[in-house]
Structure 1
Amino acid sequence: MGNPIEGCWHCDPYWVNNRNILADCGIGFDKNAIRVTRQDKISLSSYADGLIDTIMGSTAITISNNFFTHHDKVMLLGHCDVYTQDIKMQVTVAFNLFGEGLVQRMPRCRHGYFHVVNNDYTHGEMYSIGGSANPTIHSQGNRFLAPDNRFQKEVTKPKDLIESNWRSMGDLMLNGAFFIALGAGASSNYAKASRMAKRPSSIVGSITTNSGVLTCTQSLITKGEYISNLILKFEA
């Protein structure tokens, strides 16, 4: 299943003037279970609640190549601590640029398995990766730049965790940033939270340079439609 919002704006150069219509397209996008989808090349900021919420048994989700700025609670993965259907959730958060004005939840995870890989955290005011209800979080090849405040150097925020598994591998920690690992780290758990090959954290800046929405031109649309048709034919 693809991103239903994409079909609403893909060929409409005036979508920015019709935000209410765009919002109507997305009704139900984060409700009930969504399986196998990708949220890619989006620029998001300044909304009422979370910028991206993946909840209610959704799984096989990839959130990639996006640009986030100026928001408090950025990304929620998992409905609530008592909603155990999210225990099968698998989400990959990759190649995103977390820019200025962000506070927390990049992402915040509940239950499930989460691969956070090759993201660039350039500004953070509270924490980057949080979680509760015993998630497995595999952080790989990210770049974390801590704020100057000496009380805000930890990039993780665990809560009420007993059987969680959190680990950091190949992350680049700048300006005193640090990651607190949790759990025994069973290989079977991390196998479910390792859905994408990581690249070195030293090149994260170049990977995320073009994160966010693309400039829409007729040539890009035509090329995109051609590729989409090829994919559809291949899957058929």
Structure 2
Amino acid sequence: MRPRQSLRFRQVAALTTLLALLCVPAHADDSRDISRDTLAPNDGWASADGGTTGGSTADDAHVFTVRDRSELVRALDGGSATPKIIRVAGTIDVNTDDDGDHLDCADYATDGYGTKKYLAAYDPRTWGSARPSGPQEEARQASAARQAERIELAVGSNTTIVGLGDSAVLKGASLQIEGADNVIVRNLELRDAYDCFPVWQPNTGGLGDWKTAYDNIWLRGATHVWIDHVILSDKGHPDEQEPTYFGRNYLRHDGLLDITNASDLVTVSWSRFADHDKAILVGNGDTATGDRGKLRVTLHHNEFESVVQRAPRVRYGQVHLYNNRYVVPADAHDYRYSIGVSTESAIFAENNAFHTPGHIEVADLVKSWNGSALHQSGTLFNGFPVDLLAIHNAYNSGSERDLTADVGWTPTLHTKIDSAGAADRAVARGAGAGRIP
């Protein structure tokens, strides 16, 4: 009996070894450490001048897994330039105190601030058109500073922030990438950068408007930044459900991603921008002439769904916009435009797909303020090829300046550019957090 038992043991052992060998490739792929990934060569503007490597060279002492605001703040180290990798596990709510207890708007309010008091103080029928000043505006500013201290998080140079798994979330955070170089943000959902204390601006837009403070991600003077497979949205507090005060929607959110103040060499790829008013602003002012020669940005394989405007709006920058997918729902009566052509912008748009099953026309997709040029090719509109430039000029010649096709440059930092149809399908399947192949 002993020899027969030994034979069976050897057979089982051999089979187990074979199965283990067959499973090695799949197991190795599943366990790949994406936190040390770097941007591939020729993947957009962020691959220029040395490329973007984030915190990939971090030593073991500077690799952090964070599960709450306190751990995240410690890992960010005040925006230091020390190479670091920050892995976000689960959902982190940054509107929390040092003990991890949730903070709401009432917790931040100070010096007697109250929404009803503020509205009564600055009602245009009694206050007029002057900028708010006095006790309630001062109280609003003090209250806003208390919230900003909790939710604005400085991201320093040589940093990678990456979500673990397919459900990593930063809730309420505003990542401030200011004056930093070499930053990567990947595989992460950033939602609801909610401003508790909007300010009334009486002269904005002629009728006045509410101004909010926080973008989910804000680049100011930042260089070599790669944002990949992220989701940015208002999820939790959509502005459309906010009340109307002084005849204007009481906005709680600013942009999803702003790239301003001479930021440069940025690639945004395979990400989702959803359910929001203002998505992406490149360049923050017509008079910001210091942005000339900067604001070089690539946007590819991103999805813009239920976005009202700024997808993107560009001043000064050279922006390569290719293989993106736009979805405007049939009931989106507040839709304004997708591509904004502003002062000295140079947008090179290739093979983008638009889905607008409602009342939106091709002429609505592009809006120009002081812009002069837009290159476009390979555009699909509800499955049919269209010429955005020709249609814009034909339908807006009485109200907007005609645009030329010569933007003064031709992109070279890219690999394969797919047809709009192929990219449309690929983006629908693969954009957003939790979808890195």
Tell me the TM-score normalized by structure 1.
0.77
Task: Write the letter of the residue equivalent to 1:27.
Answer: Q
Q: Is the 8 A contact 1:93 1:115 kept in 2?
A: yes
CA gap of 1:76–1:210, structure 2 versus 1, over 3 A, is same
* 2:232 aligned residue: 44
Separation in structure 2 between the aligned mates of residue 175 and residue 201 of structure 1, nearest angstrom: 9
Q: Is the 8 A contact 1:49 1:73 kept in 2?
A: yes
1:142 matched to 2:352? The reply is yes
* 2:404 aligned residue: 183
Superimposed CA distance per residue, residues 204-228 of structure 1 (whole angstroms, 9 cap, x where no aligned partner): 2332122111279xxx9xxxxxxxx
Tell me the CA shift for residue 98 of structure 1: 1.0
Separation in structure 2 between the aligned mates of residue 65 and residue 22 of structure 1, nearest angstrom: 26
Secondary structure of 1:133's counterpart equals: coil
State the identity as a percent: 25
Tell me the CA shift for residue 146 of structure 1: 2.8
1:130 matched to 2:335? The reply is no
Tell me the CA shift for residue 139 of structure 1: 0.7
Paired residues for 1:17-36 under 5 Å? 17-20=92-95, 23-25=152-154, 26-29=175-178, 30-36=218-224
Tell me the CA shift for residue 35 of structure 1: 1.3
CA gap of 1:168–1:215, structure 2 versus 1, over 3 A, is closer
CA gap of 1:184–1:123, structure 2 versus 1, over 3 A, is closer
Structure showing greater radius of gyration is 2
Task: Write the letter of the residue equivalent to 1:167.
Answer: H
Separation in structure 1 between the aligned mates of residue 383 and residue 424 of structure 2, nearest angstrom: 16
Superimposed CA distance per residue, residues 175-234 of structure 1 (whole angstroms, 9 cap, x where no aligned partner): 787612522516xx232x453242111112332122111279xxx9xxxxxxxxxxxxxx
Tell me the CA shift for residue 3 of structure 1: 6.3
Tell me the CA shift for residue 23 of structure 1: 4.5
**Aligned-pair Cα RMSD in Å:** 2.9
Superimposed CA distance per residue, residues 51-108 of structure 1 (whole angstroms, 9 cap, x where no aligned partner): 0000000111111111111100010001211101222121011100111x31010000
Alignment match of 2:433 (pick from 198, 213, 222): 213
1:60 matched to 2:265? The reply is yes
Task: Write the letter of the residue equivalent to 2:434.
Answer: L
Query: How many residue pairs align between the two structures?
Result: 209
Tell me the TM-score normalized by structure 2.
0.43
Separation in structure 2 between the aligned mates of residue 184 and residue 11 of structure 1, nearest angstrom: 43
Secondary structure of 1:48's counterpart equals: coil
Tell me the CA shift for residue 155 of structure 1: 1.2
Alignment match of 2:370 (pick from 151, 160, 169): 160
Q: Is the 8 A contact 1:80 1:110 kept in 2?
A: yes
Secondary structure of 1:205's counterpart equals: helix
* 1:98 aligned residue: 304
Separation in structure 1 between the aligned mates of residue 430 and residue 264 of structure 2, nearest angstrom: 26
Separation in structure 2 between the aligned mates of residue 3 and residue 106 of structure 1, nearest angstrom: 26
* 1:118 aligned residue: 323
Tell me the CA shift for residue 28 of structure 1: 4.1
Secondary structure of 2:388's counterpart equals: coil
Alignment match of 2:423 (pick from 185, 194, 204): 204
Q: Is the 8 A contact 1:143 1:172 kept in 2?
A: yes
Tell me the CA shift for residue 45 of structure 1: 0.6
Separation in structure 1 between the aligned mates of residue 369 and residue 263 of structure 2, nearest angstrom: 22
Separation in structure 1 between the aligned mates of residue 360 and residue 302 of structure 2, nearest angstrom: 25
Q: Is the 8 A contact 2:362 2:381 kept in 1?
A: no
Unpaired runs of at least 5, structure 1? 221-236
CA gap of 1:122–1:32, structure 2 versus 1, over 3 A, is closer
Superimposed CA distance per residue, residues 10-61 of structure 1 (whole angstroms, 9 cap, x where no aligned partner): 52313x2333477424234435411111111110111610000000001111
CA gap of 1:157–1:142, structure 2 versus 1, over 3 A, is same
Q: Is the 8 A contact 1:127 1:152 kept in 2?
A: no
Q: Is the 8 A contact 2:351 2:419 kept in 1?
A: yes
Higher percent of residues as helix: 2
Separation in structure 1 between the aligned mates of residue 277 and residue 412 of structure 2, nearest angstrom: 27
Separation in structure 1 between the aligned mates of residue 270 and residue 434 of structure 2, nearest angstrom: 10
